[in-house]
Structures are given as C-alpha cells and as structure tokens.
C-alpha cells in the first residue's frame, strides 16, 4: 500500500493526498511486487533496498547511494506475533521523504494522523520527528517493564507461574532491544555527522539529546534485565527448596507408615512370635510402634530433617 501525505496549507496538520507532490511524505506499507517496481522506476529507489526495508529483522544502519540516503531503524511493536520490534526504512531525498515497512507500525500511527502538529513540514524535520518518537517509544517500553518488575519484586514469595512467564517475556523483549540499541545509537550518530542530511541547529541539538537518551535507556534496560534474571534465579531456587521439602516430608511419612506395616506383617506370619497369644498384644505392639516413632522423631530433629 502506498499513501501520500502533505501539510495542510491552512492548519499545522498533515493530510492524505491522492498523488505524489514534490516534498510530500510517501508512506509504504507491505508493498507487493508491482508496487516495488513502481517505486523503483518512479522514484529511482534501489529495489534491493526496498526489500531490505520490509525485512522486519534488518539491522539499523545508514547508507548513501545515488544522492539518496537510506536509513534503516528498528521500532518497538506489539502488532507482530512473537516479535517485540520491527525494522523499517527511511528514504531521504531533496524531493520526497519515504518510509517503508512490512507492517503498519505504532510509530507511524502516532505520526501520520490528523492530531499530530507539523509547524514545519520538510524532510529533515520529519526525520527528527521519527527519531524523537522512536527514542520515546523505546524509553516508554523499558520503563513499563521496569515498573512491572519492581511490582513483582515487592513480594517475591507470591510469584506464580504466570508471573514468571511474563518476566521471561520481558527478558526476551529487553534482550531484543539491547541487541539493536548499539546499532541504533550508531545510526543516530551517523545521521548527525553525515552531510547528506542537513539539520537546522535546533534539530541537531535534539538529535544529540536523543543519543544521550538512548544510551540512558540502554543502561536502564541492562539494569532491568539483571533484576529479572535475579528474580528468576530466586524463583528457581525457591522451587527447588520447596521440592526438596516435599520429598523430605513424603520420605518421613513413608518411614512412619512402614514401621506399623512391618510389625503387622511380621505378626501375620504363621510362626511362633513373642506375645502372640497375649490378650494385650495390640497395646504392646502399639507401645512398640509409638516408641520407635519417638526415637525416629528425636533422630530427625537432631539431623534437622524436620523442625
């Protein structure tokens, strides 16, 4: 799907237009082969780069070819099953600003709508908007995970299997973010240094601040990941201890049940045995069993198998 956006003349908002106009924003989502060829022929965009743009696992990077700047970035998303982020492509030229993605990502839902204000609508400003929102989406996602982690950490003894499953999902999310953060930060730095992308001074300062924010979010993500790992280790240790206690309890119960079973089995045999003709046989055997129980209890308490 190919859509064109331009700034409304009367208001500080963008509007969808029917066809290409110089300086417009071209938003491309899940293009088919015909649309790929159209984009390549009409706008002289490398088709191979377009296919890289719809690869959700493409690494963040920065390239310049034939006076066109190709910026690959990764954004957090909940729209793709079993994925925590997705790559997309920005094609930066003097005549148009193009974004290419496999799926309709949240970052574009937030920008390409009538509620977003565009006091300035040009390629460099649009790029800054994407970089700014991308940084905020990562920051918001990591802070959400940190908040949930602290909530669960408040009472580790009440953690349940569903809580651990959620923590493992958070851990996977953070690992995915951290894996791409380094390349994303390098891409931001390259965008700032490269002469093919021209920013006004205010926008340069914004991008510099975003690089600092991304580094802080990266550090926060690593700290949160460590907390989650410690919580998992605690839960595993707790499960192991609980299992050991259960096994110990069952073993002790088995021993106590085995004693009267053994004695009754012995007196069930057809051989001469002490007190077998006595009328007090049952109380005698009961006393013996209780005595053995008492001795076992003393031994178990001394060995701290039971408390």
Closest CA to 76 of 24, 136, 154: 136
pTM exceeding the 0.75 threshold for the entire prediction: no
Q: Look at residue 154 and tell me whether its pLDDT is greater than 60.
A: no
Q: What is the pLDDT of residues 177-206, one digit of tens each?
A: 888 888 888 888 888 888 778 877 787 888
Structure-token match 């992308």, residue found: 197
Cα torsion 33, 34, 39, 40: sign: positive
The arithmetic mean of pLDDT across residues 194-222, rounded, is 84
Q: Look at residue 218 and tell me whether its pLDDT is greater than 60.
A: yes
Domain boundaries, the chain: 2-239, 245-302
Q: What is the dihedral of CA 181, 190, 91, 64, to 10 degrees?
A: -130
pLDDT band at 148 (very low <50, low <70, confident <90, very high): confident
Q: What is the pLDDT of residues 87-140, one digit of tens each?
A: 999 998 888 889 999 888 888 888 887 677 777 777 788 888 889 888 998 888
3-state secondary structure of 127: helix
The arithmetic mean of pLDDT across residues 231-255, rounded, is 73
Task: Yes or no: say if 214 and 132 are a contact pair by the CB < 8 Å rule.
Answer: no
Q: Quote the pLDDT of residue 200.
A: 76
Name the fold adopted by 2-239. Answer: Beta Polymerase; domain 2 (3.30.460)
């Amino acid at each position: 799907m190919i859509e064109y956006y331009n700034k409304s003349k009367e208001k500080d908002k963008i509007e969808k237009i029917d066809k290409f106009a110089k300086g417009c924003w071209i938003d491309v989502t899940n293009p088919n082969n015909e649309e790929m060829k159209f984009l390549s022929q009409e706008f002289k965009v490398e088709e191979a780069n377009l296919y890289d743009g719809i690869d959700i696992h493409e690494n963040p990077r920065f390239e310049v070819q034939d006076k066109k700047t190709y910026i690959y970035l990764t954004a957090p998303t909940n729209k793709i099953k079993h994925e925590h982020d997705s790559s997309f492509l920005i094609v930066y030229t003097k005549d148009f600003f193009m974004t290419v993605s496999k799926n309709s990502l949240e970052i574009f839902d937030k920008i390409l709508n009538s509620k977003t204000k565009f006091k300035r609508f040009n390629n460099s400003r649009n790029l800054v908007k994407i970089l700014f929102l991308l940084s905020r989406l990562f920051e918001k996602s990591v802070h959400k995970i940190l908040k949930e982690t602290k909530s669960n950490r408040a009472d580790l003894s009440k953690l349940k299997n569903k809580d651990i499953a959620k923590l493992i999902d958070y851990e996977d999310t953070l690992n995915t973010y951290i894996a791409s953060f380094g390349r994303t930060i390098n891409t931001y730095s390259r965008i700032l240094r490269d002469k093919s992308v021209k920013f006004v001074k205010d926008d340069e300062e914004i991008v510099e601040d975003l690089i600092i924010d991304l580094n802080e979010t990266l550090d926060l993500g690593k700290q949160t990941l460590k907390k989650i790992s410690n919580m998992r280790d605690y839960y595993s240790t707790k499960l192991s201890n609980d299992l050991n206690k259960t096994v110990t309890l069952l073993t002790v119960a088995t021993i106590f049940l085995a004693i009267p079973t053994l004695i009754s089995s012995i007196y069930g045999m057809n051989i001469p045995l002490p007190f077998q003709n006595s009328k007090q046989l049952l109380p005698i055997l009961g006393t013996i069993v209780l005595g053995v129980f008492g001795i076992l209890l003393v031994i178990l308490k001394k060995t701290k198998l039971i408390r």
